[in-house]
Chains A and B, each alone.
Chain A
Amino acid sequence: MRNIYEIRQDFPMLQNKQMQGHDLIYFDNSATTLKPYSVLDAIAYYYTNITSNAHRSDYDLAFAVDQAYENARLKIAELIHANKNEIVFTSGASEGLNLIAYGYGLRYLKEDDVILVSEAEHASCVLPWMRVCEKTGARLKYIPLNEEGKLTIEAFRSIMDANVKVVALAQISNVLGYEVPMKEICEFAHAYGAIVVVDGAQSVPHLPIDVKDMDCDFLTFSAHKMCGPTGIGAIYGKYEWLENIDAWMLGGGSNARFDACGHILMKKPPAKFESGTQNIEGVLGFGAAVDYLQDLGMHQLHAYEQKLRHYIVSHMKRMENIRLYNEDAQSGIITFNVKDVFAQDAASYFNAHGIAVRSGQHCAKLLSEQLKTAATVRASLYFYNTRAEADEFLKVCANADMHTCLDIYF
């Protein structure tokens, strides 16, 4: 990977930004990531140079927008080793997961069919399926996690049966950051005739992904968690599935023909799912973000992140005042608590030292059994975080206790 200090020059938010009188240390990358100038430039380029609507007109400007828009689709396809026509733009992972749940679920699921999720899913991966269950009579079942909060292939195998029609799982959980053995899950699920919907919100930004090798049926992700703008994301779907699920939104751009008798001829995917004027600036910014990541190299940035995480964790686990929940996770996510301090109090203490981390509450059923706590603090890394930031974070961790967490108010 390029020199880290050179990389940091690419990010406006990393130029002398202060929080509470300290240099900003941004460790909340699972929530959203910082953006490089190239992404901002791509957005500005659209408005300064080629403003016009996509897929609509015969003049040169509009042609240039079409090309830029479709070129971004190609970049995103290449990132995950998909074909270009298997990428549908959405507003983000949440919309993608909803689109798949309704587009597939309402069309194919019926009473007593089972949708399998895990006890650690993000709301966006579970709630749409709950709605589908209400409407179809299908049932939601949860794969139990082991005592460390991991989803094992054994637990998955033992709950899988012929009633399961959909398996919907995050490839990397946003709570504990463990990676799920997705390739094995896809193989096993397919043997039972079930489809696999992968929530890639936390994996696509951090791992090299090959959807053909994984063999998932759908994968969703958000641009803003991978250096891109907010309000844009994508679905990968196997082309046969994109042809055979319903678009949940209709309008201009998605239909080829319609007449007054109500006959609609939909366009082919992906256009079928992209009704109305799209988030063009977002798509172009997303394309620039993917360029940026590809230039760094997904393998390299993943390795860098792992090394930094390992360094931090190896120190944190020796701290008496810290309780660590996911020592061996293969992601940038570090989930912990300061002993005897409520997670939110600890997060404010980090804030007082210029460090952005998140305190999070977990669905009671979900992790209270494994973690035995109502809330945790989550630090999440990305490739632009440095060893020096890690050292500062560790220093602040080492001093954290009930007293220092209150001193910040005085």
Chain B
Amino acid sequence: MTAQSSAPEKIVVVGAGMVGHRFVDELVRNDRSGRFAIELVGAEEYEPYNRILLSEVLAGRADLRALGLPLPDADRVLFRRGVAVDEIDTDARELLLSDGTRSTYDRLVLATGARAFVPPLPGLAGPAGAPKHVHVLRTLDDTRNIAARAMNAKHAVVLGGGLLGLEAACGLRRRGVPVTVVDLDDHLMATQLDRGPSRMLAAQLRSLGIDVITSTSVAEVISAYDEIVAVRLTDDRLLAADLMLVSCGIRAESGLAARAGIAVERGIVVDEELRTSDPWVHAIGDCAQPPTGMTGLLAPGWNQADDLVALMLGREDLDPDAVGDDRPDPVKLKAVGVDLVTMGVRPSQALDDDRVLTVSDGGGNRHVDLVLRDGELVGVTCLGFPDVSAALTLAYDRRTPLPADPLALLVPAGAQGGVAATVSPMRMPGSTTVCRCSAVTKKQIVSAWEQGATTPDAIAGATRATTGCGGCKEVVCGLVDWLNASDPAAPAPSVDTPVTPRNTPVESTT
């Protein structure tokens, strides 16, 4: 232990989700002098895990072992796993925990996240609660339960065609379950997509065997013996369903804060410095409502965690100048069979002076919108171009220089590859370098041949071609064959014949 001039300040973090975990990790990494004593209280029984990979697990694409996050450094962090904070006494700065114990804090960081929102539908809500096989997707347990049910399910209904709902729908489909997605909006992923690309997305989903019903919702969940058997839609259609996933958005987990008298609106209200209405309490991640708004996405939560660590350690380098920082983060649909990434401004939100480029390929279910403002890429919608979506994300994120013709962005890097394709020895210009390792041109090989080097080995001896990487062996053999074939009987021309008729036509192609 390092000598401490005063007792360390005690920070308690509530919630060991993705953002609480990041905050603790960053704080430990940066607080080298041990200024803070850290306690992490997390309600979930599991070791911290990567929540966003749950869709991959649901799709059977990721092993559960790929989810476990680094454990908090036991020397620095007291981690109470499977324990919830039940009450906060902000006056005494004291917490009541679900295991009956109490804990105090100097500063409290709320990272309680969010829970899935379940609309009050007939057959879902009510005294009996939801019937069996109706799920939300938020936790490891949810995922396990859905995956278990998927083994026997004959038809699944996903209510909500947002990012999460579609990832889950594709995941279930990959497990072989017929799926119908039902969305109240008139198009899928309305938060991120304009109608055109959204229609194409729906077409792509249908091609995977996922049915899409829009402008419609579930009017009633019908169950028998406490198990779901069907849903009735708002247009009165009945859909048989033995598995239902409700994916209608999230609600901030803010009850604990509200009970303690901390200001709560849609989430726990925080200022630019991530402080709640109580100066000793901070909130970050999905539970927080910062001035810039709530997103329900991970990247802003991680930024908040980093910023709060910097603020607490008194380092003011919040790095406002860093390239790309002030932009909304890209959103990628993590679904097998669909490649969709969106970021920033979409065409319907473009300003008059923005340049909007659209490439739409209805037959191939591919669509790209690029929005440029002042020469920078400020928005991308990219569906069905897996080879360029990563590069586009980078160009947007890092503000890298754009081509004069922005459509060139849609050509994958590999396809522009500049290495010349092999040409036949005959058509090759005389100045072509045949052997890179020893910088031997075709012309030099031809003149070596003329001087009697009529086998590949002899060419190697005379010019050094083929003696390096060996990559030109084939071409040299080809040249020798061609030369021998073109003039099998001719004696080697005399040394002072610089240009033979043979390679004159060749030269003319240069």
| Chain A bound to chain B | no
Query: Which A residues contact B (CB, under 8 angstroms)?
Result: none
